Amino acid sequence: MANPEHTFIAIKPHGLMGEIIKCYEQKGFLLVAMKFLRAPEEHLRQHYIDLKDQSFFPGLVKYMNSGNVMAMEHYSWQ
């Protein structure tokens, strides 16, 4: 099998984590690593750097930093 594509997916939990993960699995994304953590503000600023000039950027960083996220790595094959 060809080398897999690696995809990062972060979910901000609202009680539907299982359903959301299942949707990705059904689309062929294989969950290979997951970690529940609070993303540091500076990390989020860098992650969303493309959006830094958008009006919602400060709110986005604040929201994503306001509690834990489920950070996941998935493999998929074309």
Ligand X SMILES: CC(C)=CCC/C(C)=C/CC/C(C)=C/COP(=O)(O)OP(=O)(O)O
Ligand Y SMILES: Nc1ncnc2c1ncn2[C@@H]1O[C@H](COP(=O)(O)OP(=O)(O)OP(=O)(O)O)[C@@H](O)[C@H]1O
Contact residues for ligand X, defined by CB under 6 A: 10, 35, 37, 39, 43-44, 47, 64, 69, 71
Judged by beta carbon, residue 1 or residue 66, the one nearer ligand Y is 66
Does 39 interact with ligand Y (rule: CB under 6 A)? no
The token pair at 29 is: 């994304």
Question: Which of the choices ligand Y, ligand X, none does residue 23 contact, using the CB cut-off of 5 to 8 A by kind?
Answer: none
Torsion region of 53: left, alpha or beta (phi above 0 gives left; psi -120 to 50 gives alpha)? alpha
Residue with nearest beta carbon to ligand Y: 56
Amino acid identity, position 20: I
What number of CA atoms fall less than 13 Å from residue 19's CA on the CB side?
4
